[in-house]
Every structure is written in structure tokens, then in C-alpha cells.
């Protein structure tokens, strides 16, 4: 008897994922091939399907990457007085 607590993953067509992510269908396939989204070719003839739960992980990773890039840009814009303090005294 199947375990009722286990739910089979839901798969979406590339067009559905492209609409959710506001990208082109080709980009969705590239994300699958790059391993950034989980997908498989299912059926006969084989058609790409993307595991719905992988979309959330992809978006979380993109959000984290954006956060880190923003922090990096902020660090590049910091002036030396902000980093080392405003003191102009030099040690001899």
C-alpha cells in the first residue's frame, strides 16, 4: 500500500515554468541542462517536464545571489574613511 504521507512530485511544462519565471522557454531548458532546475524528459515522444518544487529552490538561490551581489557592490562603494575611520593621524 502506498505511503499517504509521500506526495509524488508535480511536473510542469517548460512553457508554464517560463511564464512563472518571466523568461523564454529555451532559457528554462538551459536551466534544466545546467542543473539549476530539476527536470526530465517524460512520455513518448519525450517532452521536458520540470519538477515544480525545484522552482522554489532556484528562486531562493537567485535571491541569495542578488543579496550577495548587492552587498559586494556596497562594499566597493565604501570610502576609506568609512572602512578605516575618519582619523587623519599618521603613525611614525
**pLDDT one-digit tens code per residue, 32-79:** 999 999 999 988 899 999 999 999 999 999 999 888 888 887 777 666
Q: Is residue 40 part of a domain?
A: yes
Q: Is residue 33 part of a domain?
A: yes
* 6 against 35, higher pLDDT: 35
Q: Is residue 58 part of a domain?
A: yes
CB atoms within 10 A of CB 64: 10
pTM: 0.67
Strands (E), 1-92: 11-12, 39-42, 47-51
Q: Is residue 86 part of a domain?
A: no
Q: Is residue 85 part of a domain?
A: no
Q: Are strands 11-12 and 47-51 parallel, antiparallel or unpaired?
A: antiparallel
The boundaries of the domain holding residue 23 are 11-78
Q: How many domains does the chain have?
A: 1
pLDDT score for 74: 77
Do the beta carbons of residue 51 and residue 9 sit within 8 Å? yes
Amino acid at each position: 500500500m502506498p505511503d499517504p504521507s509521500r506526495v509524488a512530485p508535480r511536473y510542469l511544462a517548460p512553457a508554464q515554468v517560463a511564464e512563472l519565471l518571466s523568461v523564454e522557454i529555451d532559457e528554462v531548458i538551459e536551466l534544466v541542462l545546467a542543473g539549476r532546475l530539476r527536470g526530465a524528459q517524460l512520455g513518448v515522444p519525450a517532452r521536458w517536464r520540470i519538477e515544480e518544487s525545484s522552482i522554489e529552490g532556484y528562486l531562493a538561490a537567485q535571491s541569495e545571489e542578488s543579496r550577495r551581489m548587492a552587498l559586494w557592490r556596497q562594499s566597493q562603494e565604501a570610502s576609506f574613511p568609512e572602512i578605516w575611520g575618519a582619523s587623519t593621524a599618521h603613525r611614525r
